[in-house]
Amino acid sequence: MEILWGNTVVNPFLKIDNLWKAFGNFLALKEISLEIYEGEFVCFLGPSGCGKTTLLRAIAGLDLQTSGSVEQAGTDISNLPPAERDFGIVFQSYALFPNLSIEKNIAYGLENSGMAKPAIKARVAELLELVGLPDQGRKFPAQLSGGQQQRIALARAIAMEPGLLLLDEPLSALDAKVRVHLRHEIKELQRKLGVTTVMVTHDQEEGLSMADRIVVMNHGVIEQVGTPTEIYRDPKTLFVADFIGEMNQIEGVAGSSSFAKIGDIKLSCQPHEFAAGENVTVTIRPEDIIPHGVGVRSSDAKSTIAEPDNTLDMKIASMEFLGSFWRAELSGEKLGAAHLNANFSINAMRRMELEVGRELKVELPSSRLKAFARAS
């Protein structure tokens, strides 16, 4: 497939076509097809064991796929050994050579590439500058912190200006604070260099904040590909809905075209293709639930309800303070045993005097309410 960017046709830089990988009788990857464009930052996101690292290693040639093809920059590289491909790689363990100094680690790949010694020296200095560690060249890896070591690993991976940068859980071994900091730095560096990058992570926050596009994987298949906002706002499968962010899941029954029933309540939701009466799971994110006070300034509140038919009478069963907002657990007679989690801003809490035991009306906007096939 080709896409149009302005008036020019852009071919994918990396093209994976119907790729499968079997370990004995276990299928680690199934019918994977994916296109990645030049300069893109793509994240493979999924729980452990979903096949994301296997896919990365197939792209690198470190563990060849069982069948299917990989094309990079127009060349079929499906069966090439890693040394004949064009990529740099960074691992969770840094994999810095412990007995070589930082300088020598970075220069390792440059050494017999026909580069003169002074040129190598200059390049190493430039790379050290680039990753923000200009004075650390003579030290050994063990003398640096984890975050610093990972930056050196990054410098070593981009030293030979590879066409593709592969990052295998690069931040997972680091402390939470360092991780957030390095996230920005890597993203910044990638933008500066414009190198096509694939990163594997199980941390959705990492994926959402760094990637141009996210590939959500589960059980060896691609569940959805999209920008972070698309993935978050418009999950295509229940797995994606559940895996990315928080999601209320309520068992219900499909109504006609854009309706669903939960218990006795009929709610309008996003258009779906289920037959009326089919079992579905209805979902909504906690932050999409809009609270409307009951009793207190009810006339005022009523005027703001956009979809009066999509409101429920609920009671606050418990509350939890999460810093920038409150998480309220709501229960209602008509919902039966099910309950809803809602995020209420501190402002709304104060304004509506919400507290445990309080009854209130909540609105579930139909555009945010989505029905999925119920998980068996």
Partner 1 sequence: MSTQADALTIDDIPGARIKPKLGRDDWLMRGFIAMIAIYLVVALALPLYAMLSKAFSTYSYDLTQFEFQVSDDQGVFDGKILSAKALNDALKIYSESDLSAGSGGRLAVTKLFPKFSFRSPKLYRVRGTSDKAVYLIGSERHSGREWVELDSNKFRRVVLRPVPSTGLSNFSTYFSTPALVNSIKNSLLISAISTIITVTLAFAFAYSLNRSCMRFKGMFRLIAMAPILVPSLLPGIALVYLFGNQGMLKSFMLGESIYGPIGIVIGSVFFTFPHAMLIISTALAISDARLYEAAVSLRASSWKTFWTVTIPGARYGLISAAFVVFNLVITDFGLPKVIGGQFNMLAVDIYKQVIGQQNFEMGAVVSVVLLVPAMFAFGIDRVVQRKQVALLTSRSVVYQPTPNGRFDRLSFAYCTLVAIFIVGILGVCQYAALVKFWPYDLSLSLKNYAFDLMDGGGWDAYRNSIKMAGLVAFFGTVVVFVGAYMVEKTQGFKYGRSLFQFLAMLPMAIPGMVLGLAYIFFFNNPDNPLNFIYGTMAILVLCTVTHFYTVSHLTAVTALKQMDNEFESVNSSLKQPFYKLFMRVSVPVSLPAILDISIYLFVNAMTTVSAVVFLYSSGTALAAIAVLNMDDAGDVAPAAAMGMMIFYTNAGARIVHLVISKFVLKRTQGWRAR
Task: Tell me which residues touch partner 1 (CB under 8 A).
Answer: 18, 20, 22, 25, 27, 30-31, 60, 62-68, 78-85, 87-89, 91, 93, 95, 97-100, 108-109, 111-113, 140-143, 156-157, 159-160, 162, 218-221, 223, 237, 239, 376
Query: Which amino acid is present at 289?
Result: I
Q: How far is the CB of 249 from partner 1 (least distance, A)?
A: 16
| 38 vs 63 by CB, closer to partner 1 | 63
Distance CA 202, CA 216 (A): 10
Per-residue tokens: 115: 């580069």
Distance CA 180, CA 174 (A): 10
In degrees and rounded to multiples of 5, residue 148 shows phi and psi of -65, -40
Closest approach of partner 1 to the CB of residue 222, in Å? 9
Helix (H, G, I), strand (E, B) or coil at 12: coil
Give me the half-sphere count of Cα atoms (radius 13 Å) on the Cβ side of residue 289. Answer: 27
For partner 1, the closer CB: 79 or 318: 79
Question: Would you say 177 and 185 are in contact if contact means Cβ atoms under 8 Å apart?
Answer: no
DSSP conformational letter for 287 = G
Q: Minimum distance from CB of 342 to partner 1 (Å)?
A: 28
Q: H or E element: which one contains 60?
A: helix 52-60
Residue 154's H or E segment, with its range, is helix 146-158
* Residues 6 or more apart whose Cβ sits within 8 Å of residue 204: 45, 243, 244, 245
Q: Least separation, in Å, of the C-beta of 145 and partner 1?
A: 11
Shortest distance, CB of residue 89 to partner 1, whole angstroms?
5
Given the structure tokens 């920008």, which residue do they identify? 227
Q: Which is nearer to partner 1, 111 or 129 (CB)?
A: 111
Q: Which is nearer to partner 1, 146 or 263 (CB)?
A: 146
How far is the C-alpha of 106 from the C-alpha of 144, rounded, in Å? 14
Which residue lies nearer to partner 1 by CB, 25 or 303? Answer: 25
Q: Name which of 159 and 364 has its Cβ closer to partner 1.
A: 159
Strand partners, 314: 360
Nearer to partner 1, 89 or 269 (CB): 89
**What is the smallest separation between the CB atom of 215 and partner 1, expressed in angstroms?**
14
Q: Write out the two tokens for 88.
A: 């740099």
Give 95 or 348: the residue with its C-beta nearer to partner 1.
95
Q: What is the largest CA-CA distance in the chain?
A: 80
Least distance between partner 1 and beta carbon 317 (Å) = 32
**Least distance CB 35 / partner 1 (angstroms):** 18
Q: Is the Cβ of residue 75 or residue 345 nearer to partner 1 in the bound state?
A: 75
Check if the beta carbon of residue 77 is closer than 8 Å to that of residue 61: yes
SS3 312: strand
DSSP 3-state of 219:
coil
Task: Give 199's strand partners.
Answer: 43, 167
Identify the residue whose tokens are 């402002």. Answer: 347
CB of 69 to partner 1, least distance (A): 8
